[in-house]
Structure 1
Amino acid sequence: MISPWAVLAGGAAAGGLALLLAELRPAPPDLGQALDRLHRTPDPHPPEAERATWFDRIGADSLRLAGGGSRPGGWGRVRIPYQQLSLIGRSPARFMAHKLLFAVAGLLLPGYLTAMAAVADVALPVAVPLVAGPALAAVLWFVPDGIAAGEAREARTEYLHGIAAYLELVALERAADCGPAEALRRAAAVGRGPVFRRIRDALERAATDRVPPWDGLDVLAADLGLTPLQDLADIMRISGTDGAAVYDTLRARAKSLRGELLAEELARANADSERMVAPGAALTLLMTVLIVFPALYQMLDVN
C-alpha cells in the first residue's frame, strides 16, 4: 500500500515543478491593458519605481553589498545586461533578485526531493543533494539572463518600429517649417506607446538640464543601444547647428530602417520554414511506415 505521505510528497514536488515551468513560460499579452495603453495618457513615472517590494529590496541589497550598483558592465564575475534591462523596463535590482531566487531554488530542490524520497522509504545517496544542488543552482543562475535576452530581442524590434515612425513624424514636422527642437517635441507628443514615452522623457530631461534635445536622444540611444536613434540625434544636431535641410535625410533613414526590419522578418520566416522541414519529413516517413508495414509483414510472414 502506498503511504499517504508519499502521495503528498509527490503532489508537492509536482506542484513546485509546475510553478517553476509556469514562471519560465512567457505570459500571454493582456489585450485589455494593451487597449488601455492606446487610449490613456502615459504615466511619467516608471512602474518599477512605484512597485518596489521586498523582492526588489533584496536584489538592491545584494547589488550594493557586492558593489554592483555602478553602471559599468557588471559586478565581479556577474554580468548585468543594462541595455537589455533598459529595453524591457526591468531594474537591475529585480534582475539580481531573480537570479538569486533561481539559484536558491536550484540549491534546495535536490535536498527537498531527497527528503521526500526518505519519507517514501526510498533511499537516495547523501551525495545527491551535495552534488546536484550546487550544479543545479549554477545552471539556474543563468536562466534570468536567457529570459532577459529573449524579451530584449522582442522589445528591440518594437522600439525600432517606433523609431521608424518617429523619423517620419519628425520629417513631416520639419516640412511644416518647425524648428529642430520643436519638431522633435511635437513628433514625440503624437505617439502613446513605450517608445514615444521614453523619447518624451528624454526630451523633457534634456529641457530640464538646459541642453539641446538631441543630447537627450544621445543619452537615450546609449542607454538602449539603438543605433537608429543615435542617427536621428546626429541628423537633428546638424539641422540645429548648421540649419541644414534634413527632410530627405530623415525620410531616407526611415526607409532604410524599415528595409532592415523587413529583411529581419524575412530571415526569421525563412528560418522557421527550414525548421519545419525536419518535422514534415519525419511525419511523412511515419505515415509511409504505417501504410507499408502491414503489406510488408504479410509478404515476409512465412507461417
Structure 2
Amino acid sequence: MISPWAVLAGATAAGGLAVLISELRPAPPDLGQALERLHRAPNPRRTAATTVRASWYDQLGARALAVVGARVPQQELALVGRTPARFMAHKLLFALIGLVLPGYLSAMAAVGGVALPVAVPMLAGLGMAAGGWLLPDAIVQSEAKEARVEYLHGIAAYLELVALERASDHGPAEAMRRAAAIGRGAVLRRIRDALERAATDRLPPWDGLDTLAEELGLTPLQDVADIMRISGTDGAAVYDTLRARAKGLRDELLADELAKAGTDSERMVAPGAALTLLMTVLIVYPALYQMLHVF
C-alpha cells in the first residue's frame, strides 16, 4: 500500500515544478506596460506605485518592495527589461524554495525510514532561504553586465547611423529618428521608444535620450544626447564628433574584450599544467614501475 505521505509529497513536488515552469516561461507582451512607457513623465523613476500589476505574482512583488532593507538595482533591472515587482517576486520565490526544500527532503527521508534531527532541516532551510534571497541579485548583475555590453555595441552603431544621416543633410532631430528606425535590435528599439515618448510629450529627442541614459546608467548614450543637443541648438557640425565618439567607444569595447581574453588565457594555464603533469605521470609510471620491479 502506498503511503499517503508519499502521495502528498509527490503532489507537492509536482505542483511546485508546474508553478516554476509557468513562471519561467516567457510572458506575452503587456499592452498596459507599453502604453505606460509611451505616456510616462519626462524624467520618471520606476517605483512600485507606477508598476503595472499584471498578476498576483507581480502584486506580491510590489508589496515586497516596501520591506525594510530590500535593495532594488533599478538600472540593472532596466537594462535586462525586468520590473522591480517581478524581481522581488523572484527573491521571495527562491527564498521560499530554499526554506521549504530541506524540510521536504527530511520528510521524504523519514518516509524512507531515515530520521533526521529537527534542527538539521531548520538550520539548512534558513541558510538556503538566505542564499535564495540573494541569488536573484547575482543573476540580475550577471545579465545586466552582458546587456550593458550589448547596449554599448548598439550605441556605437547608432552613433555611426546618426553621423551618416547628418551627412545626408537631415536635421538633428530627423537624423536621430531615422537612425533609430533603421535597426530592429533591442537597443535601437529601446532608443526608438525613447524618441517616440519624447515626441509624444512634445520634447526634443535628445531629452528622450537623456531620460533613457539616466534610466539605464549609460554614459555613452548621454554623450549622444549632448552632441545632438549642441547640433540642434547651435547648429554645429557634429559629423566628425559623432564618428570620433563611435570609434572611441569601439576601442573601449575592444580593449575590454582583449583584457577578458587575457584573463581567460591566464586561467587556462593551471588546467593546462595539470593536464601536462597527468600525462607525464601516465607515460613515466609504467616504465618506472617496470624498472623498480626488475631490480
Give the match for residue 238 of structure 2. Answer: 246
Q: How many residues align?
A: 264
Contact persistence 2:53–2:59 (CA under 8 A): no
Aligned ranges 1:93-172 → 2 under 5 Å: 93-172=85-164
1:143-292 matched pairs, under 5 angstroms:
143-292=135-284
Equivalent in 58, 80, 83 of residue 60 of structure 2: 58
Closer/same/farther in 2, CA of residues 298 and 51 from structure 1, 3 Å limit: farther
User: Matched residues in 1 for 2:294 and 2:96: separation?
Assistant: 62
Q: What is the TM-score with the length of structure 1 in the denominator?
A: 0.80
Fraction of identical pairs, as percent: 71
Partners in 2 of 1:217 and 1:244 — Cα distance? 19
Equivalents in 1 of 2:284, 2:232: separation in Å? 75
Structure 1: gaps of 5 or more residues = 31-42, 67-74
The SS at the match of 2:147 is helix
Counterpart of 1:296, as a letter, is L
Q: Does 2:76 correspond to 1:84?
A: yes
Match of 2:44 in 1: none
How many angstroms apart in 1 are the aligned matches of 2:54 and 2:292? 72
CA distance in 1 between partners of 2:279 and 2:174 (Å): 65
Secondary structure in 2 matching 1:289: helix
State the Cα RMSD in Å: 2.8
Q: Distance in 2 between matches of 1:120 and 1:300?
A: 52
Q: CA deviation at 1:302?
A: 7.0
Kindly state the Cα deviation for residue 55 of structure 1 after the two structures are TM-superposed.
2.4
Tell me the CA shift for residue 53 of structure 1: 3.5
Query: Within 1, Cα distance between the matches of 2:232 and 2:225?
Result: 10
Q: Distance in 1 between matches of 2:286 and 2:85?
A: 62
Mapped to 1, the partners of 2:293 and 2:61 lie a distance apart of 69
In the TM superposition, residue 54 of structure 1 has moved relative to its aligned partner by 3.2
TM-aligned CA deviation for residue 50 of structure 1: 9.2
Contact 1:44 1:201 in 2 (8 A): no
SS in 2 for 1:80: coil
Kindly provide the CA deviation profile for residues 157-195 of structure 1, in whole angstroms up to 9, marking residues without a partner as x.
111111101001111111111111111111111111111
Distance 1:44 1:113, change over 3 A: closer
Q: Which of 280, 286, 290 is the equivalent residue of 1:294?
A: 286
Helix, strand or coil: the match of 1:122? Answer: coil
Letter in 2 for 1:199: I
- Letter of the structure 1 residue corresponding to residue 55 of structure 2: T
Cα separation, 2, equivalents of 1:110 and 1:212: 56
Partner Cα separation in structure 1 for residue 88 and residue 292 of structure 2 = 64
SS in 2 for 1:189: helix
Distance 1:252 1:81 in 2: 32
Matches within 5 A, 1:25-40: none
Q: Structure 1 residues 79 and 51 mapped into 2: Cα distance closer, same or farther (>3 Å)?
A: closer
AA matched with 2:189: R
CA displacement 1:91-140 (0-9 Å, x = unmatched): 11111111001100111111111111111111211111221111110011
Give the whole-Å Cα distance in 2 for the aligned partners of 1:62 and 1:77.
11
Q: CA deviation at 1:292?
A: 1.1
Taking the aligned partners of 2:229 and 2:160, their CA distance within structure 1 comes to 17
Letter in 2 for 1:54: W
Quote how far apart the aligned CAs of 1:51 are: 9.8
In 2, distance between residues paired with 1:119 and 1:299?
Answer: 57
Distance 1:173 1:51 in 2: 40
Q: Deviations over 1:227-267 (max 9, x none)?
A: 10000001111111111111100000000001111111111
Q: Quote the Cα distance in structure 1 between the aligned partners of 2:195 and 2:216.
A: 15
Q: Output the amino acid matched with 1:276.
A: M
Find the residue that maps to 2:184 and give its secondary structure.
coil
